Structure 1
């Protein structure tokens, strides 16, 4: 038993027209305004009934025919994991990776693991990752809901990393599934490193760190977090994006009252050890600034 739900997030290109007539059994939810990636996916997850698993697929992610089958098989064979990431290839660049899950660093930055390298350079085995890219991922529905789903105040960008962090604090784990393959255009609905992407990504980066990082790791990583934020201010000012990057950090600070309330609730319900969390968080100071990082 499975359901297919398409959320039309106020598109104006007619891409959702006629879906229900051409493909029986598909439900289309039409939003009159763009409510963002986070809220749109939460809406779809709430709508499904009787499903143990939810698989998310972006409009710019093109799955191979056995993508969902391989994710489901991995879930059955690895019950210790409750959410799963895909093997993402760059659309239009044969053999080149878009990513094999997301890496999260102690400073608060996150990036697409293995971005830009050849598929031949990585092992073809499953392994634990911090977070999946939610453009093509699968979650156990009950833990998704227990964690509160995507934070809708994020709108888009970093919401999958934030959710993964909250899931990990609840003792859940994520598995990369190399046989679950998709081709990903990447930022098909927003130009990469646009003002929109810079603003939301860097505001949400701060909120994710403050909400979720356990106290001992928070203070340990705070100097790196400050450096990462200052570096972003300089970097994007030099590329002519001073307004969105400064606005992102200002709005992050303005929103800290709400974020601290969320932090209080999240931190009192931690069900994992600091040791297990350290194992999946990158810590090398220079790692986020290495070449070929596809920062989120």
Structure 2
């Protein structure tokens, strides 16, 4: 039976001293008995000095380079032996007894490998937060959406998602995973750098019959966009590119037709940016597709090596449901 002391809370940091000052106190206060680590991606802003001076009991793992979310966690977690891992963004405020429902779920269902809590918006605590909300799903063409958030429509929290339920992907903002499962999946795909690497990991877990759960009785508050906000073309580039990576690697059948439809939809999004004179975002999508072509040999090799499983999506097209049928809720 797992206990709180079996959890390692690992916070990835890159020049986030201000965020650590603001949010680390809640993690320390409400994570009784859990081990707390700072995994530092070669920061230059005295983050480590701040931790060693003010929180000498916190364990620090120093990565040699800033390899982003994927490589940063892969490198750091090699040094963590706790059976349960909590990958926690540095811009998360946790709440009292946030770990207990997570422990209970891991103990009640041994097939559960990955868990996400309820994620609310730190800046508006009555609303769900974009990156994860009440648990993630994906449509046939690789568009991710959540209970509580479909595209740009975010719901108010009225306890409608206070349940425990099986989901397809868990948010990397607060991502619980069994250490043995993380190692079995060989961690995150480091070519992603950031964005969608957790969806890819959950998809690979799904294809190996591991279960991902949402636990609505555990709550955290997420600032969101603290590293790359939605107005940054680099985020657009990573999201579009990594989405194509994920589809090619993991779709079980009809992958060519699905990717072609997805690329057509990407083209429509690019044209929309062009008409809006958002040229940086237009070129970000072009750059994403070019990178996809460059990486095709590696991705095809990965695809051949990975197991596949059907039934990954719940709706044929969330784009059609949202933009044409005007369905704005899960």
Q: Do they superpose with TM above 0.5?
A: yes
2:114 to 66, 75, 83: 83
Counterpart position of 1:283: 316
The more displaced of 158-167 and 37-46 is: 37-46
Change (3 A) 1:11 1:293: farther
Counterpart position of 2:295: 255
The more displaced of 188-197 and 250-259 is: 188-197
Secondary structure (helix, strand or coil) at the match of 1:187 reads: coil
Task: Tell me if 1:179 matches 2:213.
Answer: no
Counterpart position of 1:154: 192
The more displaced of 237-246 and 204-213 is: 237-246
1:29 to 55, 61, 77: 61
Tell me how many residue pairs correspond in the alignment.
285
Tell me, in whole angstroms, the C-alpha distance in 1 between the residues paired with 2:327 and 2:124. Answer: 16
The one-character-per-residue Cα deviations of 1:164-183 (angstroms, maximum 9, x if unpaired) are 11000001111101122111
The alignment yields a C-alpha RMSD, in angstroms, of 2.3
Shift of 1:148: 1.5
Shift of 1:18: 3.3
Counterpart position of 1:169: 207
Q: Does the Cα contact within 8 Å between 1:5 and 1:44 map onto a contact in 2?
A: no
Counterpart position of 2:36: 4
> What pairs with 1:97-246 in structure 2 (closer than 5 Å)?
97-98=128-129, 99-115=133-149, 116-120=154-158, 122-216=160-254, 218-219=255-256, 221-237=258-274, 238=276, 239-240=278-279, 241-246=281-286
The more displaced of 51-60 and 103-112 is: 103-112
Shift of 1:204: 0.4
Q: Which portions of structure 1, spanning 4 or more consecutive aligned residues, are displaced by more than 6 angstroms?
A: 290-294
Gaps of 5+ in 1: none
Q: Does the Cα contact within 8 Å between 1:52 and 1:140 map onto a contact in 2?
A: yes
Shift of 1:24: 4.2
The one-character-per-residue Cα deviations of 1:92-148 (angstroms, maximum 9, x if unpaired) are 202111111222111112134312211116231111111000110101111111112
Counterpart position of 2:14: none
Q: Does the Cα contact within 8 Å between 1:103 and 1:282 map onto a contact in 2?
A: no
Counterpart position of 1:41: 73
Tell me, in whole angstroms, the C-alpha distance in 2 between the residues paired with 1:117 and 1:152. Answer: 32
The more displaced of 225-234 and 154-163 is: 225-234
- TM-score, with structure 2 as normaliser: 0.79
- TM-score, with structure 1 as normaliser: 0.88
Tell me, in whole angstroms, the C-alpha distance in 1 between the residues paired with 2:54 and 2:75. Answer: 23
Tell me, in whole angstroms, the C-alpha distance in 2 between the residues paired with 1:254 and 1:193. Answer: 26
Secondary structure (helix, strand or coil) at the match of 1:67 reads: coil
